[in-house]
Amino acid sequence: MHTISALPGNTYAATATAARFDLYVFIHKALREFMHHTVAAVGAMDLDDAGERADVLDQVELLLATLRGHVQHENDFIHTAIEARRPGGAADTAGDHVEHLEAIANLEDETHALRTAAPAQRALLALRLYRHLAAFVGENLLHMQVEETRNNAALWALYRDDELVALHDRLMATIPPQEMALVVRWLAVALSVPELAILFADLRAKAPPQAVEALLGVVRQQVSAPRWARLAQAIGREA
């Protein structure tokens, strides 16, 4: 468990290392957006509206499944890379991941309990889920700060950027199209237009054109017309 006062990282370190390849920054921005949006949706849920209740609980389950997959990706690729060259170097965030998987299972149980509850029980179960999900998101925000500072410092000390890009490419190659579309749906609103342009330039270099077009379609559904026009211009595509 991390506390705000114990968080690593400072402005100088961030500036001094800004030029290095950052494995975490895009996906973590997307996950922060997905988490914030979902906590707010649970808080705003009308428990007497069956359609809205089902949609919000579906979103909670999708978030939890996405976070479980994210933990697995980090364990399999990033922690493995750190441990290969610095044994024990990923122990802190690996320990967090064990706790996160337990929390995810508990939150899935709470989501199921609310989905199947009698009407009289719903309000209490919904408030419990809202508070527990918010606390879990809080812990995740602190955890991601540790990853983006301490783990990045380890990765940058242990690997060259071309090695980190190759590691990231190997990780990305394991993500099925449906999961990629979900992540891009949140990246679309979490990243700046210049960051989206970098993302799509990279995708164009590595993925089939039809797959890239499908993902651009996902972005187009999520962003405003001016933002879409600026992205189209940045990647040299007709809006």
- Cβ atoms of 63 and 35 within 8 Å: the answer is yes
CB nearer to Fe ion: pick between 74 and 110: 74
CA distance 28 to 10: 18
Q: How far is the CB of 147 from Fe ion (least distance, A)?
A: 5
Distances (CA, A) of 198 to 30, 126, 163, 193: 15, 40, 19, 9
Which residue minimizes CB distance to Fe ion? 74
Residues 67-86 that bind Fe ion (CB under 5 A): 74
Q: How far is the CB of 93 from Fe ion (least distance, A)?
A: 6
CB nearer to Fe ion: pick between 3 and 210: 3
CA distance 6 to 88: 20
CA distance 181 to 216: 9
Is position 110 an interface residue for Fe ion (rule: CB under 5 A)?
Answer: no
- Cβ atoms of 59 and 67 within 8 Å: the answer is no
Q: How far is the CB of 11 from Fe ion (least distance, A)?
A: 23
**In the chain, what is the greatest distance between 2 CA atoms, to the nearest angstrom?**
58
Q: How far is the CB of 233 from Fe ion (least distance, A)?
A: 35
CB nearer to Fe ion: pick between 73 and 115: 73
CB nearer to Fe ion: pick between 111 and 151: 151
Number of residues in contact with Fe ion, rule: CB under 5 A? 1
Q: Give contact residues for Fe ion (rule: CB under 5 A).
A: 74
